[in-house]
Amino acid sequence: MKILNVIDNPFAVLGTFVLLIFCAFMTAEKWQRPESRRYKSVRHRSYWWELLLDHPARVLFSTFLALCLCGGLALLLPVATSHGITPIDAAFTAVSAVCVTGLAVLDTPDAFTFTGQALILLLIQLGGLGIMSITTVAMHAMGRRLSLRQEKVLVQVSSTSHQDLLASLHAVILYTLIVEIIGAVLLSLLFRLHGDTLPVWRGVFTAISAFCNAGFSLQSDSLLAYNHAPLILHTIALLIILGGLSPAMALLLPRWLARRPIPLFARIPLLTTAILLIGGFIALLTLEWNGIFGGLSLADKLHNAWFQSATLRTAGFNSVSLSSITNPTLLIMLLLMFIGGSPGGTAGGVKTTTLAILVLTFWNNAAGRPEIVMQNRRIDHATIYRAVTVVIAGLCIWFIILFMLETTQQISARDLIFEVTSAVATVGLTIGATPLLDEPGKCIVILAMFAGRIGPLTLFMLLGSNREDGGASRNPVEYLSLT
């Protein structure tokens, strides 16, 4: 009973989680640093917060955690809700928004005022873009320079070079703003034509939520009211897809569609994304022709099957009810949710590049080839090892969260498996488990969303190595981002 009383408090749960992760970081640093270097580093630290901000994994962890805590406290303000809110529901909503998940225990349009909805939208934008990217660009705009240590950390987080750091961050923010503004204008016009009473606010909110792959909407039933409006569905689907790609990949998309050569770092995720989108579309349409799409016309079946294939890439919107999906469809959805989007985008999951690397590794081993070579570029063995690490880390988090929910919740295993996959992959879809969660269950799902957002990334950076692969090869090494 004492354990249940502790996990009833979401802020106590997050605090315990912080302590455990911080201890893990300290232990990892202790064993990875040589003795003399460690003592030298300690002598040069002037402030306690430098211990958190001089390592990419700790920067990701601390910024996401701070944003979640600030967001939860902001949502507790009376001005944010219509009838008040409990701390557990405030924490759940804040973490879901910051981690761009979309699972909700409250009805967003009814439970939150305009101010509360604006706060949720701000958390979605900061969580999707990355508060570090925004802060860096803001400091540069004010004429302040980053220290060498801060620049090194941001270079590792953004997977770019020192020379391209600010240019890359500017490009990310500019790309995000342009796509979101165009999406907001289009959706506002479409919502107005559809007869909505607040088309502009609904268009802005939906555009940002879709691009950030968050899944929050200002409709109580998500997008069920628009399953006969193909222009709205395809606009949102395009925002989801563009948000799931990095800006560099998105800008190379027209060149790739024109069948012109593009760099390998973009070709692999774009090809994998296309295969998953088309494969998911065909699978859902075939398996649910007379199921969840049964009451729709032929054209609407095609539109909604494509939309659901896109939104399963960690977006969290649904244009049809998912409560009656068949078991084969459930398996397809679990696979698509777990894979997620592409590196550098706002989507979650283990990423398309990770899947591609594992498939290529299997194929080359089966064919007896000693190394993976594409476009005369060799995939480094360290990249393969990190891909395996990311998948195993995701599966471990998934199993632990599922075990905890199975132990504490009186909900069917089928619904919990879907819920856990949706939370860990930061998707936001549910087939009915979210409203049934009690307070311990909500706290566990909070941990799932938070760990799913930063866990594989953090583990990847902690275990990352700068050592070169010593294997002899005539082909240059191609380093691929998996985060």
Position 400 scores a pLDDT of 93
Q: What is the pLDDT of residues 131-163, one digit of tens each?
A: 546 544 544 444 545 555 555 555 555 555 545
- What DSSP line would sit under 194-228, residue for residue? HT-SSHHHHHHHHHHHHHTT----SSTTTTGGGTT
Residue type, 437: L
Position 131 scores a pLDDT of 54
Q: What is the pLDDT of residues 341-388, one digit of tens each?
A: 888 777 888 899 999 999 999 998 888 888 888 878 888 888 888 889
Task: Indicate the pairing of strand 373-374 with strand 377-379.
Answer: antiparallel
Does the predicted model carry a pTM greater than 0.75? yes
Radius of gyration for the alpha carbons in the chain, expressed in angstroms and rounded: 22
For the ranges 16-30, 173-187, 331-345, the lowest mean pLDDT is seen at 16-30
- What DSSP line would sit under 4-23, residue for residue? HHHHT-HHHHHHHHHHHHHH
Q: Is pLDDT of 267 > 60? A: yes
- For residue 425, name the pLDDT band (cuts at 50, 70, 90): very high
> Which run of H or of E encompasses 125?
helix 114-129
- For residue 11, name the pLDDT band (cuts at 50, 70, 90): low
For the ranges 41-45, 88-92, 312-316, 343-347, the lowest mean pLDDT is seen at 41-45
Residue type, 29: E
Position 52 scores a pLDDT of 55
Task: Indicate the pairing of strand 477-478 with strand 373-374.
Answer: unpaired
Residue with tokens 């969290």: 316
Q: Is pLDDT of 1 > 50? A: no
For the ranges 88-97, 122-131, 442-451, the lowest mean pLDDT is seen at 122-131
Q: Is pLDDT of 43 > 50? A: no
Q: Is pLDDT of 175 > 50? A: yes
Position 348 scores a pLDDT of 84
- For residue 46, name the pLDDT band (cuts at 50, 70, 90): very low
Mean pLDDT: which of 10-24, 253-267, 458-472 is highest? 253-267
Sequence-ordered list of residues with C-beta below 8 angstroms from that of 63, at least 6 positions apart, any chain:
130, 131, 132
For the ranges 170-184, 198-212, 317-331, 451-465, the lowest mean pLDDT is seen at 451-465
Task: Indicate the pairing of strand 477-478 with strand 377-379.
Answer: parallel
Q: Could you tell me which residue, 405 or 50, shows the higher pLDDT? A: 405
Q: Could you tell me which residue, 139 or 303, shows the higher pLDDT? A: 303
The domain spans of the chain are 2-478
User: Closest Cα to residue 305, out of 326, 287, 323?
Assistant: 287
